[in-house]
């Protein structure tokens, strides 16, 4: 495996280098192997798997299986450690340039802290891939407050922390003071009283900007002709409304509802989940079939039924 990075003069060393590297040279990589047997097996596999560059057949003493460029040990360890964890080091370094200056010890501390909080090794690729800034965050100022927020404000027990983080890794990259707590306060004021629902089912709402996301979407629903109370009732029944795009979801679906289906605001109040269905793959095909069969049913019946149930419905209505 050869990994190219634009900021490196040449490719990093092969994992074969690990077998000849003293423990003191790459402590973080050895830590990963020691703390996770699967990681150790991966390193061994990467080191011994035959390839065009590293054939299983014997080579002469002057041949090397892979070029070993003269990189600083901390750079080699950083790249190898990320790859061994299953993290795309090139992508992570591109998204988080600050990681280039981070020391292996600082990364080691963050990984150790996450593991101590119940995060598993197998969770790291997705979490760090989605939020690479975690690798250069401060445990004391950034990460610790998030775990305290989950425990105290959302009342998530320690045994369930992993579940919540895996549901929404962006929690670890969000400021409690500037993002998480303001969002929680706003959602509570709207009527989201059950912290468990926010933690386990809708944590993405907590990482959504109150000013740029939550308020504008509620205002758009009000702008359709709903009262604020009616709009709030809709998002309480279907929290996913806060995650939908105004331009790509609300507008085209509302337009189709009014112009093609002949629906009204009453239909939306009764079935706000309408916005959760695909316009092209669900709403339009179902509506066209009903129109061709000259059948009228509520939006919920039209969209929630399975394909077989929908066909049976049309058949019964036509007989």
CB-based contact 119:162 (threshold 8 Å)? yes
Q: Over the stretch 181-233, which tens digit does the pLDDT of each residue have?
A: 999 999 999 999 998 889 999 999 999 999 999 999 999 999 999 999 999 99
pLDDT of residue 120: 96
Mean pLDDT of 166-170: 97
CB-based contact 234:222 (threshold 8 Å)? no
Question: Is pLDDT of 52 > 60?
Answer: no
Residue 65 lies in a domain: no
Of 1-10, 95-104, 282-291, least confident by mean pLDDT is 1-10
Residues 230 and 263 reside in one and the same domain: yes
pLDDT of residue 311: 92
Whole-number percent of the chain with pLDDT over 70: 77
Residue 183 lies in a domain: yes
CB-based contact 134:143 (threshold 8 Å)? yes
Residues 184 and 83 reside in one and the same domain: no
Residues 228 and 315 reside in one and the same domain: yes
Q: How many domains does the chain have?
A: 3
Residue 7 lies in a domain: yes
Q: What angle do CA 232, 236, 240 make, to 5 degrees?
A: 105
Residue 58 lies in a domain: no
Question: Is pLDDT of 5 > 50?
Answer: no
Residue 213 lies in a domain: no
Residues 245 and 181 reside in one and the same domain: no
Residue 142 lies in a domain: yes
From 208, 241, 264, give the residue that closes a domain: 208
Residues 153 and 239 reside in one and the same domain: no
pLDDT of residue 42: 45
Higher per-residue pLDDT: 90 or 291: 291
From 208, 239, 270, give the residue that closes a domain: 208
Residues 263 and 305 reside in one and the same domain: yes
Residues 102 and 142 reside in one and the same domain: no
Residues 142 and 117 reside in one and the same domain: no
Residues 197 and 229 reside in one and the same domain: no
| 148: exposed, middle or buried (Cβ count in 10 Å: 0-12, 13-18, 19+) | exposed
Write the CB contacts of 260 (distance below 8 Å, at least 6 apart in sequence). Answer: 284, 287
Of 75-79, 166-170, 253-257, 271-275, least confident by mean pLDDT is 75-79
Residue 137: C-alpha distances to residues 10, 14, 68, 284, 304 (Å):
28, 28, 31, 46, 43
Residue 200 lies in a domain: yes
Segments forming the whole domain that contains residue 281: 224-319
Residue 314 lies in a domain: yes
pLDDT of residue 85: 85
Q: Over the stretch 134-158, which tens digit does the pLDDT of each residue have?
A: 999 999 999 999 999 999 999 999 9
pLDDT of residue 71: 59
Residues 258 and 155 reside in one and the same domain: no
3-state secondary structure the chain: CCCCCCCCCCCCCCCHHHHCCCCCCCHHHHHHHHHCHHHHHHHHHHHHCCCCCCCCCCCCCCCCCCCCCCCCHHHHHHHHHHHHCCCCHHHHHHHCHHHHHCCHHHHHHHHHHHHHCCCCHHHHHHHHHHCHHHHHCCHHHHHHHHHHHHHHCCCCCHHHHHHHHHHCHHHHHCCHHHHHHHHHHHHHHHCCCCHHHHHHCCHHHHHCCHHHHHHHHHHHHHHCCCCHHHHHHHHHHCHHHHHCCHHHHHHHHHHHHHHHHCCCHHHHHHCHHHHHCCHHHHHHHHHHHHHHHCCCCCHHHHHHCCHHHHHHHHHHHCC
Residues 201 and 150 reside in one and the same domain: yes
From 147, 182, 208, give the residue that closes a domain: 208
Residues 284 and 180 reside in one and the same domain: no
Q: Over the stretch 118-129, which tens digit does the pLDDT of each residue have?
A: 999 999 999 999
CB-based contact 132:100 (threshold 8 Å)? no
């Amino acid at each position: 495996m050869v990994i190219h990075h634009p900021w490196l003069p040449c490719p990093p060393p092969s994992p074969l280098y690990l077998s000849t590297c003293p423990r003191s040279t790459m402590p973080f990589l050895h830590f990963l192997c020691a703390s996770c047997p699967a990681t150790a097996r991966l390193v061994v596999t990467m080191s011994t798997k035959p390839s065009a560059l590293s054939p299983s057949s014997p080579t002469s003493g002057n041949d090397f299986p892979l070029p070993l460029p003269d990189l600083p040990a901390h750079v080699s360890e950083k790249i190898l450690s990320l790859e061994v964890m299953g993290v795309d080091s090139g992508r992570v370094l591109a998204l988080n340039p600050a990681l280039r200056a981070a020391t292996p010890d600082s990364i080691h501390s963050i990984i150790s802290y996450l593991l101590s909080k119940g995060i598993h090794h197998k969770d790291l690729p997705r979490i760090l891939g989605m939020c690479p800034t975690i690798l250069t965050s401060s445990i004391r100022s950034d990460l610790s407050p998030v775990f305290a927020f989950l425990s105290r404000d959302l009342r998530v027990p320690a045994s369930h922390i992993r579940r919540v983080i895996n549901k929404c890794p962006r929690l670890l990259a969000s400021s409690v003071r500037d993002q998480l707590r303001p969002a929680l306060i706003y959602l509570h004021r709207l009527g989201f009283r059950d912290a468990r629902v926010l933690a386990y089912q809708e944590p993405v709402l907590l990482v959504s900007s109150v000013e740029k996301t939550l308020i504008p979407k509620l205002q758009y629903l009000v702008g359709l002709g709903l009262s604020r109370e009616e709009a709030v009732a809709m998002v309480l029944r279907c929290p996913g409304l806060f995650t939908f795009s105004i331009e790509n979801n609300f507008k085209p679906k509302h337009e189709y509802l009014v112009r093609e289906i002949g629906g009204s605001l009453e239909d939306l109040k009764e079935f706000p989940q309408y916005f959760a269905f695909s316009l092209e793959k669900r709403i339009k095909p179902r509506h066209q079939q009903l129109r061709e069969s000259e059948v009228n049913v509520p939006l919920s019946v039209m969209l929630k039924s399975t394909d077989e149930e929908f066909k049976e419905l049309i058949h019964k209505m036509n007989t």
